[in-house]
Amino acid sequence: MTASLVPSPLPTPSRPVSVLQSHNGVRTEHQREVINRLKRIEGQVRGLIEMVDNARPCEDVAQQMSAARKAMDKAFYRMIACTVMEAVSDSASEVEAFREVERSTRILEKYA
């Protein structure tokens, strides 16, 4: 049996995690960073399509697919890290901060 860092589970609030919220319609630095990463990945995917269209060797295509997949993973983890940082900094109490971290952990467990 493993020891728990928290004596009892906290209730899960009904509101969803709002990922990388914009403030007053203006993108945050974190949003811009994730969007820039996704745009680079979009370029990589376009390059992959061109490689397949040009009948490039499978190993070359596989290498580029792997790079695109790793870039997507990095964008995902960066998004989650930013979400945790924003949630903790916006939390009014230690308990609320813990809830926000726990919610982000569930997203990681579900999608990572």
* Cβ proximity of 34 and 82 under 8 Å: yes
pLDDT digits (tens, 9 = 90+) for 5-18: 443 444 444 444 45
Long-range contacts of 12-18 (CB under 8 A, 24+ apart): 12/99, 12/102, 12/103, 13/99, 13/103, 17/83, 17/87, 17/100, 17/103, 17/104, 17/107
Pairwise CA distance, residues 10 & 102, whole Å: 9
pLDDT tens per residue across span 49-74: 999 999 999 999 999 999 999 999 99
Where are the domains positioned within the chain? 29-111
pTM recorded for the entire structure: 0.69
Overall fold of domain 29-111: Methane Monooxygenase Hydroxylase; Chain G, domain 1 (1.20.58)
